Amino acid sequence: MAQDMRPYVVVVIIQVIYTGMFVLSKAALDEGLSPMVFLFYRQAVASAVLVPLTIGVKWRTSSKLSFMVLFKIFMLSLVGITVGLNVYHIGLKYTSETVASAAFNAIPVITFFLAFLLRMETLKIRTSHGIAKAIGVLFCLAGVVIIAFYVGFTIHPLNHHRLFQPKNGGQSASHSQGEWVKGTFLLFFANTAWSLWLVAQGLILKECPSKLLLTTLQCVFSTVQSFIVAIAFERDFTKWKMGFDVRLLAVVYCALCNAGISWYLQAWVLQVKGPVFVAMSNPLAIVFTVFAALIILGETIHFGSILGGILTVAGLYCVLWGKNKESKIINSSDENAKSRNMDQEVIVPIDERVVPVDERVVPIDEGVSPDHVSPQKL
């Protein structure tokens, strides 16, 4: 029983880690940390941890990669990490951690939609699973629109003292309607980049079978790329300074706990329970984030964010249900085909040659017609 419960405990731990990423990232950005500088420090710390580990474990056993494969990994890092996370941090700065956790649940839906456009997925609209996947995509789009344009009533926090108070120069937690709309669509644009990253990563893994080597190369490439972006957009070097505050805590936490521990635990759950089980646990991050915002952080939450998050989660479950039902139908048809092949009788071809009869001559009584020969005499 304890072993059966381990995957459930692990997915809860993973979602708690993601909740910490949403909360600490938002607090660090409100503290005045530049989104570009944040990404550079985060990837630099992750690279400093992964490079020695990869050299010690996989350097001698890994095969050499061609220039084309390295170029593909470089572009993969540019789209999924450098562009995706920079846009994510900017969107998070203009919205809230609740919106970020709600948008996080749209990644499987967006990934399915991109895979459908690339003809890696099918959508049979006349079947129940096809209708479920289509409804899931529509629910996800409706959730984005509601989060962006509908505010609704405000849910006041139970704790009226913010855990992380922005210092002078830090950004307040309140934002204008224009910033909120822009931040919402930036978050979902970042999720689209991550979804494209996931689809392309599955293809590149066929050419680079080592997951650890692929992760390390992406961290190294994204560190160089994010440094160039940070230098280009953040010329005020006073914002590069780090102190012993929430900004440093967010950088270390995102580099070690999110990119290290959670990825390892997620790989273990994927191996034991499969990707559907992991994806179905993602809505827990919304529950934990709302709890943290209301009780621990002392922040207000808009009803529109919760309603949009519910629609996004509903879209997620519709797509997952459709995918699961489609897989069962395919597996059942394959098993039936195998069963029919096994049950078919093996037809042995008849040799058309005349089988020789016993060459012994049976004497026939004289005067008796051959038509009246008795069986006993034959």
| 369 in a structural domain | no
Taking only the tens place, the pLDDT of each residue in 191-248 is 888 878 877 877 787 787 677 788 888 889 999 999 999 999 888 877 888 878 888 9
| 249 in a structural domain | yes
| 358 in a structural domain | no
| 364 in a structural domain | no
Structural domains in the chain (count):
1
| 163 in a structural domain | yes
Q: Global pTM?
A: 0.73
| 361 in a structural domain | no
Q: Give the C-alpha separation, 219 to 263, whole Å.
A: 13
Q: Give the C-alpha separation, 148 to 366, whole Å.
A: 112
Taking only the tens place, the pLDDT of each residue in 129-187 is 888 888 888 888 888 888 888 878 888 766 666 666 555 444 445 567 788 888 888 99
| % pLDDT > 90, the chain | 8
Mean pLDDT of 322-334: 79
Nearest Cα neighbor of 216 from 47, 13, 14, 39 is 47
Q: Give the C-alpha separation, 170 to 38, whole Å.
A: 15
Spatial neighbors of 287 by CB under 8 A, at least 6 apart, are: none
Under a CB-based contact definition with an 8 Å cutoff, are residues 308 and 141 in contact?
no
Q: Which residues form the domain of 185? A: 2-330
| 345 in a structural domain | no
Nearest Cα neighbor of 330 from 121, 160, 157, 156 is 121
Q: How far is CA 124 from CA 115, 131, 133, 157, 336, in A?
A: 14, 8, 9, 45, 21
Under a CB-based contact definition with an 8 Å cutoff, are residues 262 and 17 in contact?
yes
| 347 in a structural domain | no
